[in-house]
Structure 1
Amino acid sequence: MDSSTSVLCFLLPVLLSLTSTLSTNSEGNALHALRSRLSDPTNVLQSWDPTLVNPCTWFHVTCDSNNRVIRLDLGNSNVSGSLGPELGQLQHLQYLELYRNNIDGKIPKELGNLKNLISMDLYDNKFEGKIPKSIAKLKSLRFLRLNNNKLTGSIPRELTTLSNLKVL
């Protein structure tokens, strides 16, 4: 084995590890941005430490074997505040569970970037405004629960293109 091959054999695992770390850093940043928007009177987000590189160690966050965030479970957590566009950066997210809280404001259109999302449970909150049309981009979505909010307007016609949707 020549020296360039041995350098490549050494660098490849390092580069792959760095790629995974960068992914969890951006996800950690997105989750920390969410944390900064929420009021948390019962300290359910106490473990969300932005100085930790990997958000997979935080309570209410589940990751896959590649340390990518796939689930956010904050249902019935007594949090309030609003959601921001940063949530759209959680590219691998499959389950967004934010039901039975006091979250208000608009549902960010950036949630339409969550291509792997299977379930979005935002029911029993105080969301206002219209359902974003961008949700129609979520082709893997099976469960969309938005009931018991302060949403206005009609359900976007674009949502009829979601062939996997079982519950609306």
Structure 2
Amino acid sequence: MAATSTSMFIVLYFVVGGFVVCNLLSNRCNADAEVDALIDFKNQLQDPQNAMENWDPNLVNACTFYNIICDGDNHVTTVNLPLNDLSGPLSPRIADLPNLQYLYLYGNSLTGSLPPSLGNLNNLIALRLFNNKLSGEIPSSLGQLSKLNFLDLSNNQLSGPVPRDGVLSKFGFDSFKGNPDLCGDVVNKGC
């Protein structure tokens, strides 16, 4: 009987220990993925004001990066880089931040199109990309952002119709041409 109890204890020890290790590794892997995503984001851009100078790919998580805010579980919730004279394309890897709620990149010189992968940011509440040089059409994937309450894409070089998919229909935007005044708050219906 004692041998059976000892065997059961050993098995239970390894099972519980395995769960703890898996959980720790999972958080570590998620943190590494977030660091990788932000480093790719950084590497796509010119940063003359060094707003991302301490972004080190060797860090365990991104919570110590300048202009990054994390939640209690060390997941990135805010990228706050407005008015930093950043230029270059917006990396699609930004969508590898699954807990991102606030993306503030306004007042820079970002170019290229909006990555359709932005539609994968299921927790995004506010997307502020106004006063950049973004071009192309607004991807319909943004309509999948069910938690989105504030969107400002004004003063860019976007063209084409505003997608009427999902959450974008709540904003009440019409089609636009050239340099649209495209901003809206689901609650207040304006900026």
Relative to the length of structure 1, the TM-score reads 0.94
Looking at both structures, which has the greater relative contact order when contacts are Cα pairs under 8 Å and sequence separation is at least 6? 1
Compute the RMSD of aligned alpha carbons.
1.7
Distance in 2 (CA, whole Å) between partners of 1:89 and 1:43 is 23
Whichever residue aligns with residue 131 of structure 1, its letter is: I
Gaps of 5+ in 2: 1-7, 173-184
CA displacement 1:58-115 (0-9 Å, x = unmatched):
1111111111111100111111111121111111100001000000100101000000
Aligned to 2:72: 65
Aligned pair partner of 1:160 in 151, 155, 169? 169
Amino acid in structure 2 at the alignment position of 1:165: V
Runs of 4+ in structure 1 deviating by more than 6 angstroms, as ranges, are none
Q: Give the drift of 1:10.
A: 2.6
Rounded Cα–Cα distance in structure 2 between residues aligned with 1:124 and 1:162:
19
Shift of 1:36: 0.4
Which of 127, 131, 140 is the matching residue for 1:120? 127
Aligned counterparts of 2:62 and 2:145: Cα–Cα separation in 1: 24
Q: Secondary structure, in 3 states, of the residue corresponding to 2:60?
A: coil
The 5 A counterparts of 1:59-98 are 59-98=66-105
CA deviation after TM superposition for structure 1 residue 56, in Å: 1.1
Structure index of larger Rg: 2
Q: How does 1:12-161 map to 2 (within 5 A)?
A: 12-158=19-165, 159-160=168-169
The whole-number CA distance in structure 1 between the counterparts of 2:34 and 2:140 is 24
SS at match of 1:71: strand
Could you tell me how far apart the structure 1 residues matched to 2:170 and 2:11 are?
Answer: 51
